[in-house]
Amino acid sequence: MGLMFPEDLAAWQRWQRGRHVVRRARDLMRRPVPASPMMLHRRGADPGVLFALDATTPTALASVLEPLAHLGDVPAAVLAPADVSAQLPGEWTVTAVGCAAVPATLRAVRAVVSAGHYLPVGHAAFLWVQALGARYVVVQHGLLTPFMAPLPPGAHLLAFSDRDADFWRSGRADVTGESVGSQLLWKAAAATARAAGTAGAPIFLGQLHGAELPRRISAATATGFCRETGALYRPHPAEVDRLSRFQHALWRRRGIRFADPGPLSASTGPVVSIFSTGVLEAAAAGRDAWVTCVRPPAWVREFWDRYELAEWGSPPTAPPEPPAIEPAKAIADAVLALAEGGRP
């Protein structure tokens, strides 16, 4: 099994819009607005590496920004939707830029690092890559389903594992790849208070926002599991749309309890979900973790197999084997080698 859309980004975008019918209807009623300027952060003269950041989620920060700490004083640049200099190591010059043309200060860039070209900042950086003749490097930031966006043409993929690299490439010959591991899972495994997360009520990680599964499956799974086990429901941060808020209110009226907001690492208790990266993150931290689903589609079972996730009722998911080198350092080394022309 591979991607549903292995090469066609436009087809993937149409599928995404079709999965969010209410949101699409709302957007069609609004007048289009010009794109906001992006913020370019620069350190040193003539940076050879540009990091394109579309989100400040823990997974995005771990995969795209943490490698900066392993670059030393190498000149670098960061493109983001807003000023993120407070989250960057050292001193940075920040300016607003548009996406129409490559800023003159980036004329020496030879490698661009991003989570993909399917969101605005990553897409702008992809267009710049073509003008610069640079290499586009995609860093995997979460677990992969068949509905992931395709990789950019000619990209070099830094994946969690060889199986993920093969899955995301889906047979494409124009994309190269290698395995570097996951910085998010590396940090989870390095957590000191591991045993604290093994006791207490289970925490069910919500995924109502996901386009991959119909809500009738994701909601039924959460409802049944929380009722049967007394689990606490932890909404995904993206569960802010009207339908999700309605579902949350219904659950509360029916006595389902909710977990306190905050990072997963600050909570206690076993972790359960359908296909959340948080299940593997919890297992890496030494917590009991499982997956479950009402009438799981074939791709969900393939997903569980690829990541060796244990179903509820069986022994918990085993912690993933950590790589020999910290992933953030491996990413930094690979990016520098590509920028210097040392890798294909």
Q: In this predicted structure, what is the pLDDT of residue 198?
A: 57
Q: Which candidate, 9, 55, 76, places its Cα nearest to that of 331?
A: 76
> Using CA atoms, how far apart are residues 307 and 299, in angstroms rounded to an integer?
12
- The pLDDT tens digits for 19-28 are 755 444 334 3
Query: What is the mean predicted confidence (pLDDT) over 282-289?
Result: 94
Give the model confidence (pLDDT) of 296-314 as tens digits: 999 999 999 999 999 999 9
- Burial per residue of 187-207, b for 16 or more beta-carbon CB atoms within 10 angstroms, e otherwise: bbbeeeeeeebeeeebbbbbb
**Domain map (residue ranges) of the chain:** 9-181+325-339, 195-306
Place of tokens 């009402």: 294
Beta carbons within 8 Å of 324's beta carbon, 6+ residues apart: none
Q: What is the pLDDT of residue 39?
A: 95
Region 165-180 average pLDDT: 96
What would the pLDDT profile of 244-269 be if each residue is shown by its tens digit? 999 999 999 999 999 998 888 888 88
Could you tell me the sign of the dihedral formed by the alpha carbons of 65, 67, 70, 72, in that order?
negative
Are the C-beta atoms of residues 150 and 7 closer than 8 Å to each other? yes
Q: What is the mean pLDDT of the chain?
A: 90
How many CA atoms lie within 13 Å of 332's alpha carbon, on the beta-carbon side?
Answer: 19
Report pLDDT for 125.
95
Question: Tell me: the pLDDT tens digits for 126-163?
Answer: 999 999 999 999 999 999 999 999 999 999 999 999 99
Band of pLDDT at residue 197, cut at 50, 70 and 90? very low
- The Cα 50–Cα 42 span in angstroms is 9
Q: What is the pLDDT of residues 55-95, one digit of tens each?
A: 888 888 888 999 999 998 899 999 999 999 999 988 999 99
Tokens of 328: 């953030």
Output the pLDDT for position 33.
39
Q: What is the pLDDT of residue 239?
A: 92
Which pLDDT score is estimated for 223?
97
For the chain, give the percent of residues with pLDDT over 70: 92
